[in-house]
Amino acid sequence: MTVRAFDPDSPGARRLAAGWRENRHRWTVRIVTGIFSDADGVHEPGDVLELPRPLAEGLVDDGIAELVSTRVASARE
């Protein structure tokens, strides 16, 4: 019997896949008002960022950013 190095049915693999799936949808947004900071630094009005959909959607809903485009990231990224 061979043992797989990675078990896609394991609980850890399922958690990893669920988190990745949520962040796979990427939105490009332009900051329009206020200042937004993240791990990459401080972003001011006019800055264009590509963010995971959940984060970008909140910024757009709050009026801090406007949606420029969307895409789905590949598994290789």
Give the model's pLDDT for residue 75.
64
Q: Phi and psi (nearest 5°) for 25?
A: -80, 120
Between the alpha carbon of residue 4 and those of residues 7, 9, 10, 11, 15, the distances in Å are 6, 11, 11, 15, 18
**CATH number listed for the domain at residues 25-72:** 3.40.5
Model confidence band, residue 73 (pLDDT cutoffs 50, 70, 90): confident
Over residues 17-37, the pLDDT tens digits come to 666 666 788 999 999 998 888
Question: In the predicted model, what is the mean pLDDT of the chain?
Answer: 84
Structure tokens at 28: 């490009």
Domain range list for the chain: 25-72
Give the model's pLDDT for residue 3.
66
